[in-house]
Structure 1
Amino acid sequence: MKVLVFYVNSFGYEPRTKNLDNAPAPGVGIEIKDAVLAFIQVEELDEEKDVISREKKLVNHLKWVARKNKTQRVILHSFAHLSESKASVLFSQQVFDAAQKRLENAEYEVWQTPFGYFLDLKIDAPGKSLARIWASL
């Protein structure tokens, strides 16, 4: 799994183009302030392990970044451009859903961007230490 995390002053999106035939309706765009924004690519090798081990590794990383940036808000964004390897859509969605549940159980506010859509993005990210972190989990 590859993860590129930004601390953002604000993040907004508007659904633009559906890129998965069976993706559910995306709803309307939103704006979120003071959050950790995680661009996540679940890889094919991740499927050799179980969903729980993958989401636990992801959540631990996101909680660490959130603590460093003094926020309890996390945005999960599927971004299949961090590696040439891609897990199945089903496995990726299961990792995202499990990570969201674990984070919410730890009293984080969590959002997922619409899975299966290209989005127009607005990102306001400050240039400070630990505001941008890449990891291979």
Structure 2
Amino acid sequence: MKVLVMYVNEFSYTPAEKNLEEAETVLNGKTIADAILAFIQVEEGDELKDVKSREKKLVNHLKWTARKNNCKRIILHSFAHLSESKASVEFTKSLFDEAEKRLQNADFETFQTPFGYFLDLKIDAPGYSLARIWATL
């Protein structure tokens, strides 16, 4: 799994193009302030492990990043452009849903960008060291 995490002053998205036929229809975008934005690529090799172990690793990384940025909001964004390897849609969506539940149980406010869409994005991110962190998990 590859993860690029950014602290954002503000993040906005608008659905641009549905690229997964079975995805639910989403017409409206959203704006979220003061959050950790996680661009996440789940890889084929992640499916060799169970969802719970991968979800725990992801959540621990996101919680650490949030603490370093004194933040309680986390945005999960599927971003299949960090690696050539891709996990199945089902495994990826399951991992996102499980990670979101665990984060909420730890008192984080969570958001998932629409799964199965290309989105128009606006990102306002400050330029300090821990505002941007890349990791292989």
The TM-score range, normalised by the shorter chain, is over 0.9
Q: Distance in 2 between matches of 1:16 and 1:5?
A: 22
Residue identity over aligned pairs, in percent, reads 72
Residue identity opposite 1:84 in structure 2? E
2:128 corresponds to? 128
Runs of at least 5 residues in structure 2 that lack an aligned partner in the other structure: none
Consecutive aligned runs of 4 or more in structure 1 exceeding 6 Å deviation: none
Q: Normalising by structure 2, what TM-score?
A: 0.99
Give the SS at the match of 2:97.
Answer: helix
Residue identity opposite 1:107 in structure 2? D
Runs of at least 5 residues in structure 1 that lack an aligned partner in the other structure: none
Aligned: 1:28 with 2:28? yes
Q: Distance in 1 between matches of 2:34 and 2:133?
A: 16
RMSD of the alignment, in Å?
Answer: 0.5
2:99 corresponds to? 99
Deviations 1:40-60 (A, max 9, x none): 000000000000000000000
Q: CA deviation at 1:26?
A: 1.8
Q: Distance in 1 between matches of 2:51 and 2:26?
A: 24
Q: Distance in 2 between matches of 1:14 and 1:43?
A: 26
Q: Distance in 2 between matches of 1:136 and 1:129?
A: 18
Residue identity opposite 2:34 in structure 1? D
Give the SS at the match of 1:130.
Answer: helix
Q: Normalising by structure 1, what TM-score?
A: 0.99
Q: CA deviation at 1:28?
A: 1.3
1:45-64 alignment to 2 at 5 Å? Answer: 45-64=45-64
1:2 corresponds to? 2
